[in-house]
Chain A
Amino acid sequence: MIRDLSPVDLTSAAGVAAASGRTDVRVLELPLGDLAAGTAVPPGPLTWLRAAAPGPGEAFPGDEALAALPAAGVIGMTLEFDARPEAPALIAFLVRMTSLGLPLEWGGPVADLPCELLVHLAPPSHGDAAADAWRAAHRYGLCYWRRGNGFAAVQDLRAEPGARYVIHEPDVLDLFHRLADPLDVTALPAGDRASLADLLDAELAVEIGGSAVRLPYRLRRWPVPVIDF
Chain B
Amino acid sequence: MRVTLAVMPWHLMTAPNGAASVLAAALDPDHDVTTYYGSISFAEDMLAEAGTAAPGDVKARLLPESYMYVAEEGFTGGIGEWLFTGALYGGSGGLPSAAARACAAIGFDPGVAAEIFRLAPAFADRAAAEIIAGRPDVVGFTTTFSQTVPSLAVARRLRALAPGITIVFGGSNCDDTMGAALHRNFPEIDYVVRREGEAPLRALLEALAADPADRPGLLAAIPGLCWRDASGTARAVPEGGVLPSGADFPPMDQDAYFDRVENSPVADYIQPALMMETARGCWWGERHHCTFCGLSDLILPFRSKSPDRVVAELMEGVGRHHVLDVLTTDNIVDKTYFDTVFPELEKSDLDLRIMYEIKANLTPEKARSLRTAGVIQVQPGIENLHSLPLKLMRKGITGASNVASLRDLQEQGLTVLWNYLVGFPGETVACYEEVIAQIPLLHHLQPPLGAHRIALERFNPYFDDPEMGFRERRPRAWYRGVFPHFGDADLTDVAYLFETPDRGVGGTTLRNLKAAFDHWRDAYPGSSLTHRAVDGRLHLYDRRTACAHADHVLDEPVEVAAYAALSRGRSPESLARTLASAGWPVDAAWSSAFVDDLADLGLVYRESGRAVTLSTEHDPTLVKGTAIPTPAMVGAAT
Contact = CB atoms under 8 A, between A and B. Distances in A.
Interface of A: 1-8, 10, 23-24, 44-46, 70, 73-76, 100-103, 139-142, 146-151, 153, 157, 160-162, 164, 166, 168, 218-229
Contacts of B620: 10, 70, 74-76, 101-103
A109 B336 CA distance: 55
B319 A226 contact: no
Contacts of A74: 620
Contact of A157 (B318, B549, B555, B631): B631
A225 B446 contact: yes
A139 B552 contact: no
Given A7-B541, A222-B413, A24 B553 contact: yes
B122 interface: no
A123 B533 CA distance: 31
B582 to A, nearest CB: 20
Interface-central residue, A76, A161, A226, by most chain B CB under 10 Å: A226
7 nearest A-B residue pairs (beta carbon)? A146-B351, A101-B621, A141-B628, A228-B627, A5-B551, A7-B549, A75-B620
A13 B356 CA distance: 39
A52 to B, nearest CB: 21
B607 to A, nearest CB: 22
Contact of B446 (A1, A70, A103, A224): A224
Contact of A5 (B446, B535, B552): B552
B281 to A, nearest CB: 27
Contact of A24 (B268, B377, B446, B532): B532
Given A70-B620, A224-B410, A2 B627 contact: no
Given A24-B539, A229-B449, A139 B626 contact: yes
B627 A223 contact: yes
A157 B319 contact: no
B319 A149 contact: yes
A149 B631 contact: no
16 contacts: A5-B551, A7-B550, A10-B618, A23-B534, A140-B626, A147-B351, A148-B318, A149-B319, A153-B324, A157-B630, A157-B631, A220-B351, A223-B626, A226-B415, A228-B627, A228-B633
A95 B555 CA distance: 40
B417 to A, nearest CB: 8
Interface of B: 268, 315, 318-319, 322-324, 348-351, 353, 376-377, 410, 413-417, 446, 449, 521, 532, 534-535, 537, 539, 541-543, 549-556, 559, 597-598, 601, 618-631, 633-635
A139 B541 contact: no
Contacts of A151: 319, 322
Contacts of A219: 351, 628
B378 to A, nearest CB: 11
B548 to A, nearest CB: 8
Nearest to B533: A24
Contacts of B633: 228
B624 to A, nearest CB: 5
A221 B551 contact: no
A70 B617 CA distance: 11
Nearest to A70: B621
B319 A150 contact: yes
Nearest to B543: A7
Contacts of A168: 322
A24 B534 contact: yes
A226 B414 CA distance: 8
Given A2-B597, A140-B626, A149-B315, A157 B621 contact: no
Given A7-B550, A148-B319, A157-B629, A100 B621 contact: yes
Interface-central residue, B348, B351, B446, B521, by most chain A CB under 10 Å: B351
Contact of A160 (B541, B597, B634): B634
Contacts of A103: 620
A226 B353 contact: yes
Contact of B553 (A2, A7, A101, A102): A2
Interface-central residue, A140, A157, A224, A227, by most chain B CB under 10 Å: A224
Contacts of B556: 1
Given A24-B553, A157-B634, A227-B417, 11 more contacts: A4-B550, A8-B551, A70-B621, A141-B626, A148-B318, A149-B319, A160-B634, A218-B351, A222-B376, A224-B415, A225-B416
